[in-house]
Chain A
């Protein structure tokens, strides 16, 4: 049967859509197949309760590459980001630390806990900016391949090496620290106040099954810092209409370039003939043929679920199995009839218009991790809470609000077994609401609707293996030329004409769009499509 399409992109998540848009822009005939009834994958908006639109999974945008916005003309297709105004940390004693866009105001806030830290804070941001500037070179290009002897690769590595040495002695040293240290140890080099370090350290554990004192988490911290490249919090933002609007805008751009997008079209497996991908079989038995197939799914689903084991080299299969998914977080979404009232800062105010962290101390975070290590969710977890309806009135009825709570830790493999998550789901939801209610009593009475997503739910509903929000941990050993496997970090797979474009590839997760973009550009450049 003749191929109808140049490429079929499987998975209508934001990366799949970006990839499809770029391929369509280059004049290729592209079909996107999405299993669910809505596009966006984990970057999705759903009206779960009448009048309340939830960014069900991913809830803030910071890393989305600006050149993709320009190249795909996304602003015209509805891409619109509202900046977060601050970072609010309520403390158990009723006090709070608020970090603002206003540098002097932030200085005063931090100085209440440590004047030295307040002074060092902008210096830390400057150092991180420099590091992120270097790391940006890595993010915006396919991963370097140190195993290759090709002159082109060597030149690339050389250039990278030069950029690295250009950082200067102190920063090269810093880079090594970032790659090897724990988030807390790294922050200890700069700061003395636990009140400041705790909320800063959590950037090092998001989406990983590690604690803030686990080595390697310092790098993850930098990964999140890249959203703050201009040193301001405003570079984190809410997508107007929820994060699904990001996906919708990309889908709209892709369609404008001629891509075809189908929802409720679950794919059962790849069609592989003679080691070569020829198309896909849908769950309803339909076969669709294409010259290339691009998987926006995570590495486990791409190679272990959609392909038969005998179609792959066992060594490769083993490496993919070793690629750590192990989800560690959950999500609780609330519809409320009034704003939460924080003990230390009652009432509405600018402190609610950013992100709210429940991370009162480093020990608190470590205790939360302790429970997870032994197969339980944290009774008092780290929470990252946002109230997007405060700045985006389109997502809730007037005077009412949506509250999004990112929750860590919620290990996929609870001791009862992952399949028992449905039995623990409500207890998990209660732990989250109770935790938050310690800081804003009365929260429970304001709840109109509650959605609890455990890692098991994330897997079942969104196809995230083991509920890992990044399609695989962002730990240093799973990044760059090792994402998802050494030798296969350039979107190509051992199955000819099967490509990858999801967050399980370089440069990784977050609403970044880079994997989708780089995959499309790599495919086009290589003439595969």
Chain B
């Protein structure tokens, strides 16, 4: 049975659809309404407010905190200054992805790491004789994400920290209605957004303050279904969907390297040794065998296909995450889609796919399986740079 998050009294009351799911052992709202659009458009037009407490959170502290994170993360954490946040991933000795998340440098010797999966044992195992403590703060810290063009206006109404100056991937300490919190300018929507990290005991106070300030701006509580569409528009990969943690893979071929999963840009090879470095160096030199690519479906062909059945084109109202084969023009399978969504903003069918090398160059046309009226067809898809949707306000 999942357990309630600290925001549960509020999310439960608001969730008239009763649509919850299990996210890392917590109850999490799929959609407050019986449909997803309202919450999606809150993210893109006003602000969506989403409980992200189920993210695993670790407090890494001590004189060697930096050394530990440099050793574990593929990204060079030594470059991270106090008040900065970095997105990164970590790998096993073979350079295969274990998980991805953010690292916030709260202090000279204090970091907070977020993860999709439990990672305490991995961090501890690799801490060796380093002078560092690692605390699992998942249950202790409530996390609330405020995402959308009005997010800043919403928070500045009652936040004592100067959010106007808080740049993308920076953090600040603040007081919200008397609650001491950390605010990071981060999120999983690819929009202007902030994540509030508060003591679990202050969760309801923070929620109420955010909702009160957000209501006049059109902010709404939003669920995972709406966020899933936004994360695909933003081109973000998801552990367990677009790649699988090496710890959970029964066979080698299910494992991915960061280069294969589109996270190569987070790998800093030329520095002190870190876990997976040798394998990753080799991988970079040889080139990955596969790579993650964004695909956009050819709308005209898609529409024409439905027209053959006297149907208007049908699009999914929510994101999907089933494996679908991708073919080259000769009909040979060259990869598979792992997730996708109809983008209500871009009016496009977006797909995240893993393609065999050398496929995946932007502009390349491939074919993807589409089922219409119980019959399998193929429709053209074109490799497109990610993020698919990247509004200037995200960094402004």
B247, A126: Cβ atoms under 8 Å? yes
- A108-B124 contact in complex given A122-B248, A126-B247, A130-B250, C-beta closer than 8 Å: no
The distance in angstroms between the C-alpha atoms of A118 and B124, with both chains bound, is: 13
Rank and list the top 5 A-B pairs by shortest CB-CB distance, nearest first. Answer: A104-B25, A116-B121, A119-B118, A119-B121, A115-B120
B136, A115: Cβ atoms under 8 Å? yes
The distance in angstroms between the C-alpha atoms of A116 and B119, with both chains bound, is: 8
Query: Can you report 9 A-B residue pairs in the complex whose CB atoms are below 8 A from each other?
Result: A104-B22, A104-B24, A116-B121, A118-B118, A119-B122, A120-B121, A122-B248, A126-B248, A168-B252
The distance in angstroms between the C-alpha atoms of A273 and B252, with both chains bound, is: 58
- A119-B25 contact in complex given A126-B248, A168-B252, C-beta closer than 8 Å: no
Interface check B3, CB cutoff 8 A: yes
B25, A105: Cβ atoms under 8 Å? yes
Closest to B24 in A: A104
The distance in angstroms between the C-alpha atoms of A38 and B275, with both chains bound, is: 62
**A111 partner residues in chain B, CB cutoff 8 A:** 136
B1, A102: Cβ atoms under 8 Å? yes
**B136 partner residues in chain A, CB cutoff 8 A:** 111, 115
The distance in angstroms between the C-alpha atoms of A129 and B247, with both chains bound, is: 13
Interface check A123, CB cutoff 8 A: yes
The distance in angstroms between the C-alpha atoms of A126 and B22, with both chains bound, is: 21
Residues of A81-120 at the interface with B, using a CB-CB cut-off of 8 Å, are 102, 104-105, 107-108, 111, 115-120
Interface string of B108-127 (1 = CB under 8 A from A): 00000000001111101000
Residues of B94-149 at the interface with A, using a CB-CB cut-off of 8 Å, are 118-122, 124, 136
B121, A115: Cβ atoms under 8 Å? yes
In the assembled complex, how far is the CB of residue B236 from the closest CB belonging to chain A, in whole angstroms? 23
**B331 partner residues in chain A, CB cutoff 8 A:** none
Closest to A100 in B: B1
Residues of A378-423 at the interface with B, using a CB-CB cut-off of 8 Å, are none
**B313 partner residues in chain A, CB cutoff 8 A:** none
B250, A116: Cβ atoms under 8 Å? no
Interface string of A456-480 (1 = CB under 8 A from B): 0000000000000000000000000
**A120 partner residues in chain B, CB cutoff 8 A:** 121
The distance in angstroms between the C-alpha atoms of A122 and B124, with both chains bound, is: 17
The distance in angstroms between the C-alpha atoms of A376 and B22, with both chains bound, is: 50
Interface string of A305-329 (1 = CB under 8 A from B): 0000000000000000000000000
A105, B120: Cβ atoms under 8 Å? no
Interface check B363, CB cutoff 8 A: no
Interface check B2, CB cutoff 8 A: yes
Chain B positions within 8 Å of A, measured between CB atoms, are 1-3, 22, 24-25, 118-122, 124, 136, 247-248, 250, 252
The distance in angstroms between the C-alpha atoms of A123 and B24, with both chains bound, is: 16
**B1 partner residues in chain A, CB cutoff 8 A:** 102, 105
The distance in angstroms between the C-alpha atoms of A103 and B301, with both chains bound, is: 43
Chain A positions within 8 Å of B, measured between CB atoms, are 102, 104-105, 107-108, 111, 115-120, 122-123, 126, 129-130, 168
The distance in angstroms between the C-alpha atoms of A115 and B58, with both chains bound, is: 12
B3, A107: Cβ atoms under 8 Å? no
The distance in angstroms between the C-alpha atoms of A108 and B118, with both chains bound, is: 11
The distance in angstroms between the C-alpha atoms of A104 and B56, with both chains bound, is: 12
**B118 partner residues in chain A, CB cutoff 8 A:** 107, 115, 118-119
The distance in angstroms between the C-alpha atoms of A108 and B56, with both chains bound, is: 13
The distance in angstroms between the C-alpha atoms of A168 and B120, with both chains bound, is: 26
**B250 partner residues in chain A, CB cutoff 8 A:** 126, 129-130
**B121 partner residues in chain A, CB cutoff 8 A:** 115-117, 119-120
In the assembled complex, how far is the CB of residue B333 from the closest CB belonging to chain A, in whole angstroms? 24
The distance in angstroms between the C-alpha atoms of A481 and B163, with both chains bound, is: 73
**B120 partner residues in chain A, CB cutoff 8 A:** 115-116, 119
The distance in angstroms between the C-alpha atoms of A512 and B196, with both chains bound, is: 55
Closest to B246 in A: A123
A108, B25: Cβ atoms under 8 Å? yes
**B122 partner residues in chain A, CB cutoff 8 A:** 119
In the assembled complex, how far is the CB of residue A466 from the closest CB belonging to chain B, in whole angstroms? 40
**B247 partner residues in chain A, CB cutoff 8 A:** 122-123, 126
A104, B2: Cβ atoms under 8 Å? yes
The distance in angstroms between the C-alpha atoms of A222 and B78, with both chains bound, is: 44
**B24 partner residues in chain A, CB cutoff 8 A:** 104
- A107-B119 contact in complex given A122-B248, A129-B250, C-beta closer than 8 Å: no
The distance in angstroms between the C-alpha atoms of A105 and B22, with both chains bound, is: 11
The residue that A119 contacts in the complex, of B2, B119, B252, with Cβ under 8 A, is B119
Closest to B248 in A: A126
The distance in angstroms between the C-alpha atoms of A117 and B247, with both chains bound, is: 14
**A108 partner residues in chain B, CB cutoff 8 A:** 3, 25
Closest to A102 in B: B1
**A123 partner residues in chain B, CB cutoff 8 A:** 247-248
**A122 partner residues in chain B, CB cutoff 8 A:** 247-248
**A104 partner residues in chain B, CB cutoff 8 A:** 2, 22, 24-25
The distance in angstroms between the C-alpha atoms of A126 and B252, with both chains bound, is: 13
A116, B124: Cβ atoms under 8 Å? yes
* Further pairs besides A104-B25, A107-B25: 12, Cβ < 8 Å: A107-B118, A108-B3, A111-B136, A115-B121, A116-B124, A118-B118, A119-B118, A119-B121, A119-B122, A120-B121, A123-B247, A126-B248
**A102 partner residues in chain B, CB cutoff 8 A:** 1
The distance in angstroms between the C-alpha atoms of A118 and B122, with both chains bound, is: 12
**A107 partner residues in chain B, CB cutoff 8 A:** 25, 118
In the assembled complex, how far is the CB of residue A86 from the closest CB belonging to chain B, in whole angstroms? 12
The distance in angstroms between the C-alpha atoms of A174 and B185, with both chains bound, is: 45
The distance in angstroms between the C-alpha atoms of A117 and B22, with both chains bound, is: 21
In the assembled complex, how far is the CB of residue A164 from the closest CB belonging to chain B, in whole angstroms? 16
Closest to B2 in A: A104
The distance in angstroms between the C-alpha atoms of A168 and B2, with both chains bound, is: 36
**Interface core residue of A107, A119, A168 (most chain B CB under 10 Å):** A119
The distance in angstroms between the C-alpha atoms of A115 and B346, with both chains bound, is: 43
The distance in angstroms between the C-alpha atoms of A320 and B248, with both chains bound, is: 44
Closest to A190 in B: B121
In the assembled complex, how far is the CB of residue B323 from the closest CB belonging to chain A, in whole angstroms? 20
The distance in angstroms between the C-alpha atoms of A182 and B292, with both chains bound, is: 44
The distance in angstroms between the C-alpha atoms of A117 and B136, with both chains bound, is: 13
In the assembled complex, how far is the CB of residue A354 from the closest CB belonging to chain B, in whole angstroms? 15
In the assembled complex, how far is the CB of residue B260 from the closest CB belonging to chain A, in whole angstroms? 19
In the assembled complex, how far is the CB of residue A115 from the closest CB belonging to chain B, in whole angstroms? 5
In the assembled complex, how far is the CB of residue B336 from the closest CB belonging to chain A, in whole angstroms? 22
**Interface core residue of B3, B24, B118, B119 (most chain A CB under 10 Å):** B118
The distance in angstroms between the C-alpha atoms of A411 and B184, with both chains bound, is: 64
The distance in angstroms between the C-alpha atoms of A182 and B124, with both chains bound, is: 26
